């Protein structure tokens, strides 16, 4: 394999990323900027990510999926908790230290155009991270950029175009190319197929798989599309109001969901022929106010299985039928 497409370091058996008791709160402000309370966007989130793995993050809008991804990247600073990347604590690093780390940990935005300057041609946008993070000369940068463009299935002629001159699917590929120029080890994909036609989605998902093999990548796959998550991921973490409520292998989560919220999410997936399984679909209305969470289990106000214990004690992730579920009455 050419040096321009050299993969990351082989797996060592240790988690490449370890998150423990991570919290990220946002202040609720009133008149005169007085703090009235907190929105607990992330509350005691813990998980390990193995090298080469694809971990899916799913849940309703506002559950904390994107906040988790941005906190891992240092875009948001956590109130407390640990983020250990390759044995190094990265939570709370200074901006300069985060810049060094970002060569290995990259974030793919939901809108790929957000990372591209509309006034720059694609060539300049792809050269920029190499100028910032490496000491490569112009000829070496151009060689790597062209190799990455080929890897993502785009012709070198696109380097002379502006972002608005390419299609949505091609723009998604350009965004990936910009990330891959630095040979990262972990890529956080935030809703990577949103806004794309179904045929283009299939092409992009195939590309993700090919790039994972080519560059030895590890993915955190944030998505609301459960069908895509089932196809792409090896493990799934289900989030609700800032907490992981169920986590396990993708087959176990989809075939034997233990948390009522997970069961309801899966029941909402459209079936072939337009039918929908509704016997387990319990979700009604909106989630509770994140600034005024219910006592005990956060899901109890929407759960038909809720009992007195659910209002008194907040459940923690416990082993249940091959996965972990934060429910007093799993199954």
pLDDT single digits (tens) 19-31: 999 999 999 999 9
Does pLDDT of 242 surpass 50?
yes
pLDDT of residue 4: 47
Give me the phi and psi of 48, to 5 degrees please: -115, 150
pLDDT digits (tens, 9 = 90+) for 245-284: 999 999 999 999 999 999 999 987 766 655 555 455 667 6
Q: What is the pLDDT of residue 279?
A: 56
Mean predicted confidence (pLDDT) in 51-64: 94
Residue whose entry in the numeric block shows the structure tokens 């799934």: 236
What pLDDT, on a 0 to 100 scale, did the predictor assign at position 321? Answer: 76
Q: What is the mean pLDDT of residues 2-8?
A: 43
- As a whole number of angstroms, the distance between CA 213 and CA 310 comes to 44
Instruction: Give the domain ranges of the chain.
Output: 3-233, 258-331
Percent of the chain with pLDDT over 70: 91
Mean pLDDT of the chain: 88
Three-state SS string over the chain comes to CCHHHCCCCCCCCCEEEEEEEEEEEEEEECHHHCEEEEEEEEEEEEEEEECCCEEEEECCCCCCHHHHHHHHHCCCCCCEEEEEECCEECCCCCHHHHHHHCCCEEEECCCHHHHCCCCCCHHHHHHHHHHHHCCCCHHHHHHHHHHHHHHCCCCHHHHHCCHHHCCHHHHHHHHHHHHHCCCCCEEEEECCCCCCCHHHHHHHHHHHHHHHHHHCCEEEEECCCHHHHHHHCCEEEEEECCEEEEEEEHHHHHHCCCCHHHHHHHHCCECHHHCECCCCCCCCCCCCCCCCCCCCCCCHHHCCCCCHHHHHCCCCCEEECCEEECCCCCC
**Domain 3-233 bears CATH identifier 3.40.50.300:** yes
Q: For the segment 208-228, what is each residue's pLDDT rounded down to a tens digit?
A: 999 999 999 999 999 988 999
DSSP bridge partners of 42: 24
List pLDDT tens digits, range 77-96.
999 999 999 999 998 887 77
pLDDT at 3 over 80: no
Q: What is the pLDDT of residue 147?
A: 96
Tokens 């002379």, located at residue = 160
Q: What pLDDT, in 10s, does the model give residues 188-198?
A: 999 988 878 88
What was the pLDDT predicted at 96?
76
Residue 98 has pLDDT above 90, yes or no: no
Residue 60 has pLDDT above 50, yes or no: yes
Match 């041609």 to its residue by tokens: 121
pTM of the entire predicted model:
0.88
Q: What is the pLDDT of residues 282-317, one digit of tens each?
A: 676 678 888 899 999 999 998 888 999 999 999 999
Helix axes 138-151, 122-133, angle to 10 degrees: 120
46 to 23, 105, 262: CA distances (angstroms): 10, 18, 18
């Amino acid at each position: 394999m050419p040096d321009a497409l050299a993969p990351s370091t082989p797996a060592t058996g240790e988690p490449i990323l370890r998150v423990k008791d991570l919290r990220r709160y946002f202040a609720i402000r009133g008149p005169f900027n007085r703090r009235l309370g907190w929105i607990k966007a992330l509350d005691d989130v813990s998980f390990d990510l193995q090298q080469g793995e694809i971990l899916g993050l799913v849940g309703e809008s506002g559950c904390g999926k994107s906040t988790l991804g941005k906190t891992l990247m240092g875009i948001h600073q956590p109130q407390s908790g640990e983020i250990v990347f390759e044995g190094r604590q990265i939570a709370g690093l200074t901006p300069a230290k985060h810049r060094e780390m970002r060569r290995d940990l990259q974030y793919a935005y939901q809108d790929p155009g957000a990372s591209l300057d509309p006034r720059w041609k694609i060539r300049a946008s792809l050269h920029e991270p190499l100028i910032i993070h490496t000491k490569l000369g112009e000829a070496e940068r151009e060689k790597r950029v062209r190799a990455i463009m080929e890897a993502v299935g785009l012709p070198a002629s696109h380097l002379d175009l502006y972002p608005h001159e390419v299609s949505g699917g091609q723009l998604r590929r350009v965004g990936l190319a910009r990330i891959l120029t630095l040979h990262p080890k972990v890529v956080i994909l935030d809703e990577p197929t949103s806004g794309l036609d179904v045929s283009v989605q299939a092409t992009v998902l195939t590309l993700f798989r090919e790039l994972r093999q080519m560059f030895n990548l590890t993915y955190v796959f944030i998505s609301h599309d459960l069908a895509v998550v089932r196809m792409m991921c090896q493990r799934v973490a289900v989030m609700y109001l800032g907490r992981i409520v169920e986590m396990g292998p993708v087959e176990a989560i989809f075939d034997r969901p233990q948390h009522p919220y997970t069961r309801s999410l899966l029941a909402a997936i459209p079936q072939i022929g337009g039918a929908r399984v509704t016997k387990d679909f319990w979700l009604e209305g909106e989630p509770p106010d994140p600034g005024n969470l219910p006592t005990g289990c956060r899901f109890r106000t929407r759960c038909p299985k809720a009992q007195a214990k659910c209002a008194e004690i907040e459940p923690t992730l416990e082993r249940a039928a091959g996965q972990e579920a934060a429910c007093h009455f799993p199954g």
